[in-house]
């Protein structure tokens, strides 16, 4: 395997928020999901599912429900006298949370409940952890699957942006709209399409700042 090519994919991936008006083929989408399913997961529980929306009107509807929720939050903040954060929420965070609006594809990334023989036979009988901990366990694996999608997309010349904005603001509306059962967590969404921008590299923390080697 050529490591330098792999590193190029990792370093060259950027979050893309402007997309060409060009469809992504179902074959490409299936290929990305194929990469996702080879991600590691706790006891191979594979706690992920994906809803892929290729319908522009439905993506628009999700954008609208996100904006509605943002405006509602801003209104509530103003009523509490928090004018400045309310203004920033709409002006700065609004476009960030709805940056998927021009994407031809929106992938809703779900984390499914962590179910495993270990949990059934060992963890649950000894009451190892609460339901929230197990939910988090499923989300961890789901995030790794999403990263595979982002890297595979970049390797294929596609642009993507992982996003929690619409989930933070309109999780319940999104759940109802897409008929997602309550036991599945909406982890994040991924905007996907052919890139119409080449963003410059954002700064990263230095290795010395984040690496702690214990010998």
Ligand X SMILES: Cc1cc2nc3c(=O)[nH]c(=O)nc-3n(C[C@H](O)[C@H](O)[C@H](O)COP(=O)(O)O)c2cc1C
**Nearest to ligand X of 43, 147 (CB atom):** 147
Residue nearest to ligand X (CB): 165
Q: Quick one: tokens of 116?
A: 């495993």
Q: Under rule CB under 6 A, which residues in 110-149 are in contact with ligand X?
A: none
Reduced 3-state DSSP string for the chain = CCHHHHHHHHHHCCECCCECCCCCCHHHHHHHHHHHCCCCCHHHCCCCEEEEECCHHHHHHHHHHHHHHHHHHHHHHHHCCCHHHHHHHHHHHHHHHCHHHHCCEEEEEEECCCCCHHHHHHHCCCCCCCHHHHHHHHHHHHHHHHHHHHHHHHHCCCEEEEECHHHHHHHHHHHHHHCCCCCCEEEEEEEEECECCCCCCCCCCCHHHHCCCCC
Figure out which of the listed residues 149, 151, 153, 163 binds ligand X, where binding follows CB under 6 A.
163
Stretch that binds ligand X, among 42-50, 72-80, 91-99, 114-122 (CB under 6 A): 91-99
Q: Which is nearer to ligand X, 99 or 149 (CB)?
A: 99
For position 77 contacting ligand X by CB under 6 A, the verdict is no
Give yes or no for residue 195 binding ligand X (CB under 6 A): no
Q: Does 164 interact with ligand X (rule: CB under 6 A)?
A: yes
**Which of 10-18, 80-88, 107-115, 174-182 is the region at the interface with ligand X (rule: CB under 6 A)?**
10-18
Shortest Cβ 131–ligand X spacing (Å): 22
CA–CA separation, 50 vs 32, rounded Å? 11
**Given candidates 165, 170, 174, 186, which one binds ligand X under the rule CB under 6 A?**
165
Main-chain dihedrals φ then ψ at residue 32, nearest 5 degrees: -65, -40
Q: Does 15 bind ligand X (CB under 6 A)?
A: yes
Binding mask 26-65 for ligand X (x = CB under 6 A): ----------------------------------------
Note whether 159 and 100 are within 8 A (CB). Answer: no
If one asks whether residue 103 binds ligand X (CB under 6 A), the answer comes out as no
96 is a site residue for ligand X (CB under 6 A): yes
Residue ranges in 143-162 that form contacts with ligand X under rule CB under 6 A:
161-162
Applying CB under 6 A, the residues found at the interface with ligand X are 14-15, 17, 96-97, 99, 161-165, 188, 202
């Amino acid at each position: 395997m050529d490591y330098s090519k792999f590193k190029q994919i990792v370093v060259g991936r950027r979050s893309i928020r402007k997309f060409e008006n060009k469809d992504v083929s179902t074959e490409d989408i299936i290929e990305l999901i194929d990469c996702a399913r080879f991600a590691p997961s706790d006891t191979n529980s594979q706690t992920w599912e994906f809803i892929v929306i290729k319908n522009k009107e439905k993506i628009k509807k999700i954008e609208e429900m996100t904006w509605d929720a943002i405006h509602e939050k801003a209104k509530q903040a103003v009523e509490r006298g928090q004018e400045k954060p309310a203004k920033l929420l709409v002006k700065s965070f609004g476009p960030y949370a709805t940056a998927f609006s021009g994407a031809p594809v929106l992938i809703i990334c779900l984390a499914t409940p962590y179910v495993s023989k270990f949990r059934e036979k060992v963890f649950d009988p000894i009451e190892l952890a609460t339901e929230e901990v197990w939910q988090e366990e499923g989300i961890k694996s789901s995030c790794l699957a999403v990263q595979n999608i982002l890297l595979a997309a970049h390797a294929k010349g596609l642009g993507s942006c992982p996003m929690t904005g619409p989930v933070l603001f309109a999780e319940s509306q999104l759940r109802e709209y897409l008929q997602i059962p309550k036991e599945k967590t909406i982890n994040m969404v991924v905007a996907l399409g052919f890139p119409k921008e080449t963003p410059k590299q954002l700064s990263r923390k230095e290795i010395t700042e984040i690496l702690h080697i214990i010998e």
